[in-house]
Amino acid sequence: MLPLVYHPDFVTPLPPEHRFPMPKFGRIYAEILHAGIAGPDQFHLPLIAQREWLELVHTPAYVTSYLTGSIDAKAMRRIGFPWSPALVTRTCTAVGGTVLAARLALAHGIACSTAGGTHHAHADFGSGFCIFNDLAVAARVMQREEDVRQALIVDLDVHQGDGSAAIFAHDPSVFTFSMHCEKNFPFRKSASNLDLSLPAGMEDEAYLAVLAERLPGLLDTVRPDLVFYDAGVDSHRDDRLGKLALSDAGLYARDYFVLTECRKRGIPTACVVGGGYSKDIDALARRHVLLHRAASEVVG
> Measured in whole angstroms, how far is the alpha carbon of residue 294 from the centre of its chain?
16
Ordered mean pLDDT values, 10 residues apiece, the chain (300 residues): 98 94 98 97 97 98 98 97 98 98 98 98 98 98 96 98 98 98 93 98 98 98 98 97 97 98 98 97 98 97
pLDDT (0 to 100) of residue 192: 98
3-state helix vs strand vs coil in the chain, percent to 5: 45, 15, 40
Q: Is the dihedral of CA 283, 286, 288, 290 positive or negative?
A: negative
Helices (H) and strands (E) counted in the chain, each on its own, are: 10, 8
pLDDT of residue 117: 98
DSSP string, 194-237: EEEEE-TT--HHHHHHHHHHHHHHHHHHH--SEEEEE---TTBT
Note the CATH number of domain 21-299: 3.40.800.20
**Which pLDDT score is estimated for 147?**
87
| Rounded Cα distance, 286 and 155, in Å | 20
SS3 11: coil
pTM: 0.98
User: CA dihedral defined by 189, 195, 199, 203, rounded to 10 degrees?
Assistant: -130
Instruction: Give 136's contacts (C-beta < 8 A, 6+ positions apart).
Output: 57, 121, 163, 164, 167, 168, 174
What integer pLDDT is reported at residue 187 of this predicted model?
Answer: 86
